Chains A and B, each alone.
Chain A
């Protein structure tokens, strides 16, 4: 059984059809890349799965439960973690406190004592290489460190599925390398990932399957080698010759 099933999902913002009858499934342990030019509906898709937006029609099923329309905190507790496209951290909190929120409230139905949550938060910071900056206020990090902190916040919650919205966007080559290393390690651990990125090479390397969106529709789906050479994908990215 698939871990995540998206069934005929549509979203319209007044006159704009952001998603049109999108459907796909993600198996446990799979890494699915989602690509597409700006405005193709990638982030809208993530927002609906995570509960930040209601769909106009269609359903999202996670681990056999329909989660469409549930509030974001319930979806997070079901086991879906997320990192946003533009990093959003809590500016008055330290790095450790930011991650502690994920550990204390995230993807679990049982209540975790604060002391144990703190241990998990420290472990998540170690995973992304930020353990040395635990006490530093979150706004004092570089963009690359902030992206890593976002990943730590999501990982601390022990999700079954992690939605990553352009985790390496706007980063220096060294920071991109650090982010990709963390994601590779999560792939080895068997975590299920849904990854949006413009870098076709990075997505192709990490994902076992790619879904290409354009104007809210799926235009190609399959192994990275096939999708990145698909004529409709090339047309969407490069335009007509």
Chain B
């Protein structure tokens, strides 16, 4: 948890420095991806692995974009609208899918993202169809601070979980769901609350994305990329602590953008995948888990 606050403090401090527009853009992107990864991790605390967070990311992106471009709201008001819309969509998705477990739940979330992508593609009068929406209002200056604020809010959720019985309940559901239910833990309502909270943050991340890139199309907003990236970033950084997904997002995004793409433009995706495989094969507990295990071993008598 402490590592999470350190990363959050560093991100907020860095976001305040006078960067070039290009570097500010990179910073905003990495922070909104870190927010997406941290939102995915909130649900994973209860043992449910979503393969469809693009559903909530895309709904948040479209809702905020439409509220700002056609609803006449300012971006400040539209952004929370994106989060609320994603949370509202998560309610029926969770009610239908949370009686499933393991890979079946994962596939149900994947299907939800696909259904929403098809819906956004074909609901042309509202979404602009496959052409999408362009010329969206931009994020306010220092938009990266908004993403950092979202990350700070997720860390506060973790503080609440750590101090209440609900964090223990999520850990129990993750480890032995049936036994937890037998002890009185209301697993399905609790997982639904975790999914809705997670979706709200994913939706906020999507809303930031919409006003950051200033154009949206269904194939991008609901793409598999935004379902798989948070999962990979969280596993890469480690899922034992909220700092893991943040670290994973930071390392993977900057590794690709600042090192692999400029130096190996033709092979950067191959090297990116290789880096992920290397970490997952040699450090299955993620970078942070590995570092803690090594640190613990050194400290042991």
User: Known: A92-B175, A93-B172, A104-B165. Is A52-B182 also a contact (CB below 8 A)?
Assistant: yes
Shortest B182–chain A CB gap in Å is 5
Contact B168 A101 (CB under 8 A): yes
CB 8 Å contact bits of A53-94 with B (1 = contact, 0 = none) = 000000000000000000111101100001010001111110
Chain A residues bordering chain B, tally (CB within 8 A): 29
Shortest B166–chain A CB gap in Å is 9
Q: Which residues B178-214 have CB closer than 8 A to chain A? A: 178-188
In the assembled complex, which residues on chain A have CB atoms less than 8 Å from the CB atom of B183? Answer: 73, 76, 101-102, 105-106, 153-154, 157
Give the CA-CA distance A89 to B172 in the complex, in Å.
Answer: 9
Contact B175 A73 (CB under 8 A): no
Chain A CB within 10 A, most for which of B175, B180, B184:
B184
Give the CA-CA distance A52 to B185 in the complex, in Å.
Answer: 13
In the complex formed, the residue of B with least CB distance to A159 is B184
Give the CA-CA distance A106 to B171 in the complex, in Å.
Answer: 16
Shortest A52–chain B CB gap in Å is 7
User: Known: A93-B172, A117-B165. Is A106-B184 also a contact (CB below 8 A)?
Assistant: yes
Give the CA-CA distance A52 to B182 in the complex, in Å.
Answer: 8
In the assembled complex, which residues on chain B have CB atoms less than 8 Å from the CB atom of A73? Answer: 181-187
Contact A90 B171 (CB under 8 A): yes
Give the CA-CA distance A93 to B121 in the complex, in Å.
Answer: 46
Contact A50 B175 (CB under 8 A): no
Shortest B63–chain A CB gap in Å is 33
Interface of B is mostly: helix
In the assembled complex, which residues on chain A have CB atoms less than 8 Å from the CB atom of B172? Answer: 90, 93, 101
Give the CA-CA distance A107 to B183 in the complex, in Å.
Answer: 8
B20 at the interface (CB under 8 A from A): no
In the assembled complex, which residues on chain B have CB atoms less than 8 Å from the CB atom of A97? Answer: 168
CB 8 Å contact bits of A108-135 with B (1 = contact, 0 = none) = 0000001001000000000000000000
Contact A105 B184 (CB under 8 A): yes
Contact A102 B184 (CB under 8 A): yes
Give the CA-CA distance A52 to B187 in the complex, in Å.
Answer: 13
In the assembled complex, which residues on chain A have CB atoms less than 8 Å from the CB atom of B178? Answer: 52, 72, 88
In the assembled complex, which residues on chain B have CB atoms less than 8 Å from the CB atom of A84? Answer: 179, 182
Shortest A100–chain B CB gap in Å is 7
B164 at the interface (CB under 8 A from A): yes
Shortest A128–chain B CB gap in Å is 16
B169 at the interface (CB under 8 A from A): yes
Contact B182 A50 (CB under 8 A): yes
Contact B185 A101 (CB under 8 A): yes
Query: Within the complex, which residue of B165, B175, B176 is in contact with A105, where a contact is CB–CB below 8 Å?
Result: B165
User: Known: A104-B165, A105-B165. Is A90-B179 also a contact (CB below 8 A)?
Assistant: yes
Shortest A86–chain B CB gap in Å is 11
In the assembled complex, which residues on chain A have CB atoms less than 8 Å from the CB atom of B164? Answer: 114
In the complex formed, the residue of A with least CB distance to B165 is A104
Give the CA-CA distance A29 to B232 in the complex, in Å.
Answer: 54
Give the CA-CA distance A77 to B187 in the complex, in Å.
Answer: 13
Shortest B100–chain A CB gap in Å is 16
Give the CA-CA distance A76 to B178 in the complex, in Å.
Answer: 12
In the assembled complex, which residues on chain A have CB atoms less than 8 Å from the CB atom of B181? Answer: 52, 71-73, 76
Chain A CB within 10 A, most for which of B171, B176, B182, B187:
B182
Shortest A29–chain B CB gap in Å is 23
In the assembled complex, which residues on chain B have CB atoms less than 8 Å from the CB atom of A104? Answer: 165, 168-169
Contact B176 A90 (CB under 8 A): yes
A-B pairs with lowest CB-CB distance, top 8: A105-B184, A76-B184, A104-B165, A72-B181, A88-B179, A106-B184, A73-B186, A90-B175
What is the interface of chain B, defined by CB distance below 8 A to chain A? 163-165, 168-169, 171-172, 175-176, 178-188
Q: Can you name 20 A-B residue pairings with CB atoms under 8 Å?
A: A71-B186, A73-B181, A73-B182, A74-B186, A76-B181, A82-B182, A84-B179, A84-B182, A88-B179, A89-B179, A90-B176, A93-B168, A93-B175, A100-B165, A101-B172, A105-B165, A105-B184, A106-B184, A114-B164, A153-B183
